[in-house]
Every structure is written in structure tokens, then in C-alpha cells.
């Protein structure tokens, strides 16, 4: 069955989009006030819509909603704080320059200050502090000061509204970003105790933190990537090279395979001159992880190879379907058990979202059966093959793989 490349849903900003973002950031609130149209056209209604979009990571619709609120009332505190956070999240995406991020931060901080100045209640002031946490957390600027600024706003929000789970949730994310996983877990547990709209998200994040704590990455690279929610193909290449020592494992297996027939010495220097030398991957030149990518490709691992067009797509998000194939191929090559590749072919699928005739079906069954991966939703049983792989998921799989392969590693 021919494998089809899973297209990435992530979008790398173009220069035009970055310029647009700068314009939006530097001129957040509309200059002219408009008249209300209809009973529902109110600042509070548009802020509610903006908050709903923001919770779904829909940053452009969120910004649009907040700007509609500000077009009715340019001093409306909840809209000012919302616009600051939405713009900061948008600027934190890959492809946005450091200079642009600094400009966005400057405007966002100004909007937060306006929100605090125009707040009419303790709740709206606490909201502004809570959204300030999101601004500094998403941009992580200034480099040496953002965490302290997050703590300052968190303490202000807690003092104003002690039972509000929002600042606690975002403080937990800040602790996780600083690799303070024990403290992050405590904050997430506090959110769960308080309940409310952050409960489901806190529960998901707490489980992710617990996976990180169980994974115990051995390398500095692994510790940095542990908190990344969506890792790229280049990240996976680097992570498996340093954490699993793939080069050593594969060399050991090649030695075992080569212990039989040996090519005569007289023929060992004979080489065929290729008519044309074409690079194995044409899109990795100059990439920071180029050497790791080349090393992984040289091993011929399914799931981490270039496509027929000689493209590796280093910055594309790594999907769970691809990850299952990678793990299965590692098991096959290290254990030298090729039957793993077809063991579940012909059996009905236990997963609602994985058909038995897709190219990654057997791999999904294999990794679930071996405990290298888990279903993505325990309630529905969905595997979510197109969902991205997190750093925690990758590290935990590596740890489990190490245990399974312990008998084969010398």
C-alpha cells in the first residue's frame, strides 16, 4: 500500500503576513468610534466571542472580535487586554522575527496598561493581569525577565480574585515553560480543585506534565524539548539521535548482519560511478539540525526519510501516524522480527478513526500493543493519527522503547 505524505496543518508566516502583523500590533484599536447596530452589538458581546475564539487558539477571529468591541468603546478594558493577548499569541508562531515580537510586546504592554487604567471592577483588573501573563508567556520576552513579570501579574490577579482559576492555569503553563514541572503540576491540581472552564484543559496539561516527569530525558536537548506541544520532523531526528543513540544501535545490527559472507578484498574497492549525484534531501541545507537529519536518513528508517521528490520537510509537524511507523520500524530493525510489519493485517480495527486499510494501521496496532503509544482519547478510543506528537509523548516512547530493546542493546 503506497504511503501518502500527511500534509502539515501548520502555516509558516510569509513576509507579507509578518508585515501585516506588525501593522496590526502597532495600531490595535480602531481610530474612529462607530454607532451600535442592533441590541447584540455591544462591547461585552464581542469580547465574549473573542474569548471563545482565543480559547480555541483562533487568534485572528479573536482579534477581530476584540477590535469590534473597541470600535464601540475604545477604552473598554476587557477588549484591550484581549487584543493584547491575541496579538501576542499570533506573533509567537514560527517565522516571526525577534524584532517583530519585541514590537508586538511593546504595543501589548501598552494595551495591558490601558486595560488596567480603564478597569471598572476588581474582576476586570484581574482579567488584565491574567491576560498580561499570557502576553509574556507566549512571547517569552524580555528573555531574562519574562518569568518574573509573569509572577508579578499572577500575584496581582490572585490578590484581586483569589478563586479565579484563569491566572493559576497560565501560571502553571509558565512554570512548565521554565521546566519547573513539580510546581506546574501543583498549580494544575489547584485549577482542577476549583473547577470551571479551565478544568478540562488543566486535566490534559497535568497528564502531559506527568508524562514529562515519567520520561526523564537524559540529554539537555531532550529536557528542552520535553515541554514542546508540537514537535517537528527535524526535532524528532535530533531527539532520537541523542536520546536513543540510533547510530550506535544500527551499527551494531549491521555488524551482526555482516558477520556471514564477506566481499572478497579484490572487489571491495570497486565502485559504480553514478551518472548524477542527487542530494538525498534538497530542503535541509543550512538547517540547524541538518547533520542529525542526514544521519537519520542514512539509517533508512521509515517515517523519517525523504519523499520521492527528495524533500524531508524538516519544519513540518510530526504526526502520530508517522510516529507509529517510526517506532514500528525501530522495533523491526532492532529485534530483527519482520513479522511485526504485518501482524495485525486483516484484523478489524479497534479504533474508530483508524481504518484497517490505511498504510499506518499495522503500525498503530503494534505501538499500542507494545505500550509505546496510547490512544489520544480514552473515552472515545480515538487514536488521532493526524494529531501532532508532543515532546513529552516522544520522550516517553523513547523511554519505553529503551526498556523493550534492553536485551538487544550491548
* Ranges of the chain with pLDDT below 50: 1-20, 22-29, 258-264, 266-277
Q: Say if residue 143 is exposed, middle or buried (CB neighbours under 10 Å; 0-12, 13-18, 19+).
A: exposed
At 348 the pLDDT is 96
In a domain, 5, yes or no: no
At 243 the pLDDT is 83
- Residues 111, 192: one domain? no
C-alpha count within 13 angstroms, C-beta hemisphere, residue 316? 21
Q: What is the CATH number of the domain that holds 48?
A: 1.25.40
- Residues 168, 147: one domain? no
Q: Which tens digits make up the pLDDT trace of 76-105?
A: 999 999 999 999 999 998 779 999 999 999
Q: Say if residue 17 is exposed, middle or buried (CB neighbours under 10 Å; 0-12, 13-18, 19+).
A: middle
At 270 the pLDDT is 40
- Residues 87, 187: one domain? no
In a domain, 261, yes or no: no
At 106 the pLDDT is 97
pTM (global) more than 0.85: no
In a domain, 266, yes or no: no
- Residues 241, 376: one domain? yes
- Residues 56, 102: one domain? yes
In a domain, 221, yes or no: no
- Residues 304, 285: one domain? yes
- Residues 85, 170: one domain? no
Which grid coordinates are listed for 203?
486535566
Which grid coordinates are listed for 202?
488543566
Q: Calculate helix-pair angle for 320-335, 391-404, nearest 10 degrees.
A: 20
Q: Which helix (H) or strand (E) holds 23?
A: helix 15-26
Which grid coordinates are listed for 9?
496543518
In a domain, 363, yes or no: yes
Assess contact for 138 and 105: CB atoms under 8 A: no
- Residues 312, 335: one domain? yes
In a domain, 147, yes or no: yes
In a domain, 309, yes or no: yes
- Residues 188, 62: one domain? no
- Residues 138, 185: one domain? no
Residues 44-51: contacts with CB within 8 Å, 24+ apart?
Answer: 44/69, 44/78, 45/69, 46/72, 46/79, 47/76, 47/78, 47/79, 47/82, 50/79, 50/82, 50/83, 50/86, 51/82
Q: Say if residue 150 is exposed, middle or buried (CB neighbours under 10 Å; 0-12, 13-18, 19+).
A: buried
- Residues 119, 184: one domain? no
What is the domain count for the chain? 3
In a domain, 21, yes or no: yes
The boundaries of the domain holding residue 171 are: 163-215
Grid coordinates 536485551 are at which residue?
A: 407
Cα 270 to chain centroid, rounded? 47
At 251 the pLDDT is 59
Give the residue ranges of DSSP H helices in 140-245.
Answer: 146-160, 165-177, 181-194, 199-215, 220-225, 233-244
CA dist 188 and 170 (Å) reads 9
- Residues 248, 335: one domain? yes
Q: Which tens digits make up the pLDDT trace of 171-217?
A: 999 999 988 999 999 999 999 999 899 999 999 899 989 988 887 66
Amino acid at each position: 500500500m503506497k504511503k501518502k505524505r500527511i500534509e502539515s496543518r501548520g502555516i509558516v508566516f510569509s513576509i507579507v503576513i509578518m508585515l501585516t502583523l506588525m501593522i496590526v500590533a502597532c495600531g490595535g484599536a480602531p481610530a474612529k468610534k462607530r454607532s451600535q447596530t442592533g441590541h447584540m452589538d455591544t462591547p461585552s458581546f464581542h469580547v465574549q466571542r473573542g474569548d471563545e475564539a482565543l480559547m480555541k487558539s483562533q487568534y485572528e477571529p479573536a482579534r477581530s472580535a476584540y477590535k469590534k468591541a473597541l470600535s464601540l468603546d475604545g477604552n473598554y478594558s476587557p477588549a484591550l487586554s484581549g487584543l493584547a493577548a491575541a496579538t501576542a499569541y499570533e506573533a509567537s508562531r514560527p517565522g516571526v522575527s525577534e524584532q517583530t515580537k519585541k514590537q508586538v510586546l511593546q504595543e501589548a504592554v501598552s494595551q495591558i496598561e490601558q486595560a488596567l487604567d480603564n478597569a471598572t471592577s476588581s474582576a476586570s483588573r484581574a482579567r488584565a493581569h491574567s491576560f498580561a501573563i499570557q502576553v509574556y508567556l507566549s512571547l517569552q520576552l524580555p528573555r531574562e525577565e519574562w518569568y518574573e513579570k509573569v509572577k508579578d501579574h499572577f500575584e496581582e490577579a490572585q490578590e484581586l480574585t483569589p478563586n479565579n482559576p484563569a491566572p493559576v492555569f497560565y501560571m502553571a503553563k509558565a512554570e512548565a515553560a521554565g521546566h519547573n514541572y513539580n510546581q506546574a503540576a501543583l498549580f494544575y491540581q489547584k485549577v482542577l480543585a476549583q473547577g470551571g472552564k479551565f478544568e478540562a484543559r488543566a486535566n490534559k496539561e497535568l497528564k502531559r506534565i506527568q508524562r514529562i516527569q515519567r520520561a526523564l530525558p537524559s540529554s539537555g536537548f531532550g529536557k528542552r524539548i520535553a515541554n514542546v506541544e508540537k514537535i517537528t520532523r527535524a526535532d524528532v531526528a535530533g531527539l532520537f539521535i541523542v536520546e536513543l543513540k540510533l547510530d550506535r544501535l544500527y551499527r551494531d545490527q549491521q555488524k551482526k548482519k555482516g558477520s556471514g559472507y564477506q566481499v572478497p578484498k579484490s572487489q571491495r574497492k570497486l565502485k559504480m560511478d553514478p551518472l548524477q549525484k542527487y542530494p538525498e534531501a534538497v530542503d535541509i541545507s543550512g538547517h540547524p539540525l541538518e547533520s542529525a537529519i542526514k544521519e537519520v536518513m542514512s539509517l533508512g528508517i521509515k517515517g523519517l526519510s525523504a519523499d520521492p521528490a527528495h524533500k524531508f520537510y524538516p519544519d513540518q509537524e510530526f504526526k502520530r501516524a508517522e510516529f507509529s511507523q517510526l517506532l514500528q520500524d525501530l522495533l523491526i530493525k532492532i529485534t530483527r522480527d519482520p513479522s511485526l510489519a504485518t501482524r495485525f493485517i486483516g484484523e478489524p480495527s479497534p479504533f474508530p478513526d483508524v481504518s484497517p486499510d490505511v498504510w499506518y494501521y499495522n503500525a498503530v496496532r503494534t505501538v499500542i500493543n507494545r505500550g509505546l503509544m496510547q490512544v489520544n482519547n480514552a473515552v472515545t478510543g480515538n487514536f488521532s493519527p493526524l494529531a501532532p506528537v508532543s515532546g513529552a509523548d516522544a520522550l516517553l516512547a523513547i523511554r519505553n522503547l529503551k526498556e523493550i530493546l534492553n536485551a538487544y542493546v550491548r
